[in-house]
Structure 1
Amino acid sequence: MDKPYTGGCACGAIRYSIAGEPLFANHCQCRDCQRESGSGHGSYATFARAGVTVTGEARRWDMVGDSGNVKTRAFCPTCGLAVYMTFAAMPDIFTIRAASLDEPARYQPQAVTYAARAYAWDHLDAGLTKFETMPPG
């Protein structure tokens, strides 16, 4: 069996373990991700929900994406770190923030989403595939 992806918040109150490899890994330059990260993009890895175990209680807030679907961001109520996201329209996936990984070097981005909202000062790997918005399902 492959080594699980593990991680959590900064204070350790929320922990996750994920069996399997990411289905998709991306840098997102949408305005929501910019605000949440405090930079020009957020970096995420998305997995099949079936392989995910989470311990600890997260606080959550819902927002509506450009698609009109609800995405729920989960963060630690103690340290404030945003750890993961879930999507009402896609209950079978689980998305983590790359920086929340115990071994962030395992994160290998495949694409940039919402490149249309990029800032000139946010330099990402020019070799990555860029999508103006979210790629088709």
Structure 2
Amino acid sequence: MDKPYTGGCACGAIRYSIAGEPFFSNHCQCRDCQRESGSGHGSYATFARAGVTVTGEAKHWDMVGDSGNAKTRGFCPLCGVAVYMTFAAMPDIFTIRAASLDEPARYRPQAVTYAARGHGWDHLDPSLVKFEGMPPG
């Protein structure tokens, strides 16, 4: 069995363990991710929900994406760190913030999403595939 991906918030109140490999890893330059990260992008790894175990009680807040569907962000009520996202339209996936990994070096971005909203000062790997918005289904 492969080594699980583990991680959580800064204070340790929220923890996760994920069996399996991410099926998509990206830097997202949409305005929502810029605001949440306080930077030019958010970095994410997306997994099948079936392999995910979360301990601790996260607080949640919803926002509506460009698709019109809700995305729910889970964060720690103690330290405030955003840890994961789920999507109402895609209940079988679970997305974690790359910086929440215990071993962030395991993160391997594949693409940049919402590159059209990126800023010139946010220099990302130029070899990554760039999508103006979300990649096609």
Q: Could you say which TM-score interval applies, normalised by the shorter chain?
A: over 0.9
- Counterpart of 2:103? 103
Q: For structure 2, list consecutive stretches of 5 or more residues without a partner in the other structure.
A: none
Q: How does 1:51-130 map to 2 (within 5 A)?
A: 51-130=51-130
Cα deviation digits, residues 69-98 of structure 1 (max 9, x gap)? 000001000000000000000000000000
Give the alignment's Cα RMSD to 1 decimal.
0.2
Aligned length: 137
Cα deviation digits, residues 43-79 of structure 1 (max 9, x gap)? 0000000000000000000000000000000100000
1:34 and 2:34 are equivalent in the alignment? yes
Q: Secondary structure at the match of 2:67?
A: coil
Measured after TM superposition, the shift of residue 22 of structure 1 is 0.2
In 1, distance between residues paired with 2:109 and 2:88?
A: 24
Q: How does 1:36-51 map to 2 (within 5 A)?
A: 36-51=36-51
Cα deviation digits, residues 20-42 of structure 1 (max 9, x gap)? 00010000000000000000000
In 1, distance between residues paired with 2:109 and 2:25?
A: 5
Name the aligned partner's letter for residue 39 of structure 2: S
- Counterpart of 1:2? 2
TM-score of the pair, normalised by structure 1? 1.00
- Runs of 4+ residues over 2 Å off in structure 1: none
Q: Secondary structure at the match of 1:134?
A: coil
In 2, distance between residues paired with 1:69 and 1:131?
A: 19
- Counterpart of 1:11? 11
In 2, distance between residues paired with 1:121 and 1:17?
A: 34
Cα deviation digits, residues 92-129 of structure 1 (max 9, x gap)? 00000000000000000000000000000000000000
In 1, distance between residues paired with 2:55 and 2:23?
A: 22
Q: For structure 1, list consecutive stretches of 5 or more residues without a partner in the other structure.
A: none
